[in-house]
Structure 1
């Protein structure tokens, strides 16, 4: 995909980045290390000790900030939903102002996020480890859902079926592509792939916008 939102996180292998972990924003650094650890080792190999090692800090640092593994994954999921919205916003910023164009752009951002950050994508929608009763995570997840609702309504839809159709189409594409499926689509040149994805997303638009 083109114009993908940058990951904006330090590389743990960079000594300068490791030094920043000690006197910069340690919480953000631990979240970045946690995402990298999740991507490399998966949920089964994920541990606070390994996150601390990757970040170059004391093994007690993650526990001090997040309590336990669930606390860290919950905080990572909350940040993930904010980054998910940022990926959509990046697409929306360069799309037309019409509600249908904005809705399609949000769908492209959905796919961007899944393709560039598949481990985080799976944490948000396929894992039971984060605690969605947490206030910060609940607010972040709620904001992501409300964005969908607002866009569907702006495009002329208002029913649960409209919301479900748009969400299912965007999420299904994102999930399949992040999993390495849809090879015929994945192997297209960037511009052609984007155009095809946008065309597919338009099939789920509310009738008033699609027409």
Structure 2
């Protein structure tokens, strides 16, 4: 890419973020350099700093973008459905598989500014949607502490997604990760039976 490419307002920000996501997917977030991203985008080395200030600012924007994408992926799951919690987990795993670079940055708060208002708003929206599946469970299924139940469900989906992305789930060749997660979740998220 050459420096003669012209960008409309806002395109440079997107171009730098896209280049950063490619670098993260290939080599991890430690490989991010604003100077290298400027070269990849074909702009002056100062241009990315104008939009993001520094490396942490860029990673903050990526994390906020990731939480926004995650929230969008969760938004149309009907929380009144008894299968809502399982479906939210499946969507979470699908997001991680489709957006591994976002996923990695989102969950490494030491890399970004975790108190950034845009990031906080996007993260809170995603958490509210994830927690909505717990609200659909019968009281016997979620116990007295809905927040702990939501954390348990999120830990299951997050742990599975992380294991999958890191190659830690062996023997599942040929099985779509979301299908494997769905099967696993069906073993755990079963409706409680009533006694006779």
Give the TM-score normalised by structure 2.
0.81
The secondary structure found in structure 2 opposite 1:51 is helix
* Corresponding residue to 1:49 among 1, 25, 35: 35
Instruction: State the match for 2:158 in structure 1.
Output: 171
Shift of 1:56: 2.1
Instruction: State the match for 2:135 in structure 1.
Output: 153
The count of aligned residue pairs is 186
Instruction: State the match for 1:6 in structure 2.
Output: none
Greater Cα radius of gyration, structure 1 or 2: 2
Instruction: State the match for 2:107 in structure 1.
Output: 125
Question: Cα 1:32–1:71, aligned 2, differ >3 Å: closer, same or farther?
Answer: same
* Corresponding residue to 2:96 among 114, 121, 125: 114
Separation (CA, whole Å) in 2 of partners of 1:210 and 1:130: 41
Give the TM-score normalised by structure 1.
0.76
Instruction: State the match for 1:72 in structure 2.
Output: 58
* Corresponding residue to 2:7 among 16, 19, 22: 22
CA RMSD of aligned residues (A): 2.6
Question: Cα 1:136–1:160, aligned 2, differ >3 Å: closer, same or farther?
Answer: same
Separation (CA, whole Å) in 1 of partners of 2:107 and 2:79: 29
Shift of 1:199: 2.3
The secondary structure found in structure 2 opposite 1:168 is helix
Shift of 1:89: 4.5
Instruction: State the match for 2:121 in structure 1.
Output: 139
* Corresponding residue to 1:40 among 26, 31, 34: 26
Separation (CA, whole Å) in 1 of partners of 2:174 and 2:137: 29
| CA contact 1:203–1:210 (8 Å) conserved in 2 | no
Shift of 1:40: 2.4
Question: Cα 1:57–1:102, aligned 2, differ >3 Å: closer, same or farther?
Answer: farther
Shift of 1:38: 1.8
Instruction: State the match for 1:60 in structure 2.
Output: 46
* Corresponding residue to 2:71 among 82, 85, 98: 85
